[in-house]
Amino acid sequence: MTRIIEPGATLGVLGGGQLGRMFTVAARRLGYRVHVLVPESDTPAGQLADVEIHAAYDDMDAVRHFVDGVDVVTFEFENVPHETTTLAERFVPVRPSGSILATTQNRRNEKRWLGQNGFPLPDFEVVESLEQLKSAVATIGTPAVLKTAAWGYDGKGQSRIDAAHPVEDAWNATGGQTCVLEQFVDFDCELSVVVARGPDNVARTYGPMRNAHVDHILDVSSCPANITKEVSSDARELARSIAESLDVVGVCCVEMFLTQDGKLLVNEIAPRPHNSGHLTIDAHITCQFEQQVRAICGLPLGSAEQRQPAACANLLGDLWLPRTPSWASLLSSDDVKLHLYGKATPRPRRKMGHITALADTPDDALQRVLQARRLLSDA
């Protein structure tokens, strides 16, 4: 039987971004202390944590010191070296496990794992040279998308290949890294399902959320997703099956394409809370971050029931240019919740916060959150 890590214990987080910040809020509300390990200082999570340790993730002496002070370790982003989680797992539980990171932080490993385990995904080829890329394009066809296998997020390391975007240009943009060439999917919409899963194999699912991206960065999410009950059920079951096959203890998100002919294809797996699940803070009985705390501590999971249709819009640093957003105008809107991440310096494309709107229908919530975001720059 898994030992319950009781309130009052100390939870360790690798990473100091906004996901760690919202995890820390949930953890402290439940009576836990939080330590974060992050290379930078004054991070969104570190501002609220009890202790912020400043060290590189591959500084094994610092990692050992960090682990000595906590009862369990989790993470808020994937790009943590495997050696770091391997060391941590010698002394405390790491949830989700480092082996899951090794699979999901590399697109080549992730897609091979999905294919080997029978999960639906777009056609792909692993390429390690320009010659291999040309051969893969001949096999998969165009349009196609070339993605670096490692260190990619929010559209980084991605290039489209078609008549207007030559193969050579796409390959040169990668710097010669190992890549994955994917079939371009003519999708009806993009969906995501967040799964919380405890060590007792009990799982709760959120969504599907309907997502829209701008320049490869998630822009807005809404839930319910305005899809058929059958597709919604299939998406939740697909995500739950992936979490079970990976033996996730914690929270993970499965991003999917819904094709024009009604098929679900897995795009990516994120073994952590997800941007599309931020609306659960205001719209659900138990949010994704509280579920993460409960799961890694071996506590019973909470209800994932949605109280009201909701939509969430990201606030990027672009909104701060040329002047600070009008917060008073935004907060004059009924049923709109503002979440800022404590980042001092706004930059274009940098996620600075989000807003969530509740309404009687998902479409109304979506219109309300977009209108509220416009108020930030129009006032």
CATH number for the domain harbouring residue 179: 3.30.1490.20
Question: Does 24 fall in a domain?
Answer: yes
Mark whether 305 and 317 lie in a shared domain.
Answer: yes
Question: Does 110 fall in a domain?
Answer: no
Question: Does 103 fall in a domain?
Answer: no
Total count of domains within the chain: 3
Residue 379 has pLDDT above 60, yes or no: no
- pTM for this model (two decimals): 0.95
Q: Which two tokens stand for residue 98?
A: 């480092």
Question: Does 202 fall in a domain?
Answer: yes
Mark whether 199 and 265 lie in a shared domain.
Answer: yes
Closest to 299 in 3D by CA, of 26, 99, 51: 26
For residue 122, what pLDDT band results from cuts at 50, 70 and 90?
Answer: very high
Mark whether 298 and 173 lie in a shared domain.
Answer: no
Mark whether 147 and 273 lie in a shared domain.
Answer: no
Mark whether 136 and 80 lie in a shared domain.
Answer: no
Q: What is the pLDDT of residues 46-76, one digit of tens each?
A: 999 999 999 999 999 999 999 999 999 999 9
Mark whether 360 and 229 lie in a shared domain.
Answer: yes
Mark whether 66 and 209 lie in a shared domain.
Answer: no
Helix (H, G, I), strand (E, B) or coil at 83: helix
**What range defines the domain where residue 61 resides?**
10-94
The residue behind tokens 């319950």 is 4
Mark whether 308 and 196 lie in a shared domain.
Answer: yes
Residue 308 has pLDDT above 60, yes or no: yes
Question: Does 104 fall in a domain?
Answer: no
Q: What is the pLDDT of residue 191?
A: 98
Question: Does 102 fall in a domain?
Answer: no
Q: Cβ contacts of residue 272 below 8 Å, gap of 6+? A: 19, 74, 75, 76, 77, 78, 96, 250, 251, 252, 253, 292
Q: What is the pLDDT of residues 317-363, one digit of tens each?
A: 999 988 889 999 999 888 899 999 999 999 999 999 999 999 999 99
Q: Cβ contacts of residue 312 below 8 Å, gap of 6+? A: 220, 221, 222, 276, 278, 279, 354, 355, 356, 357, 369
Question: Does 100 fall in a domain?
Answer: no
CATH number for the domain harbouring residue 260: 3.30.470.20
Residue 166 has pLDDT above 90, yes or no: no
Q: How much is the average pLDDT of 247-259?
A: 98
How far is 224 from 259, CA to CA, in rounded Å?
18
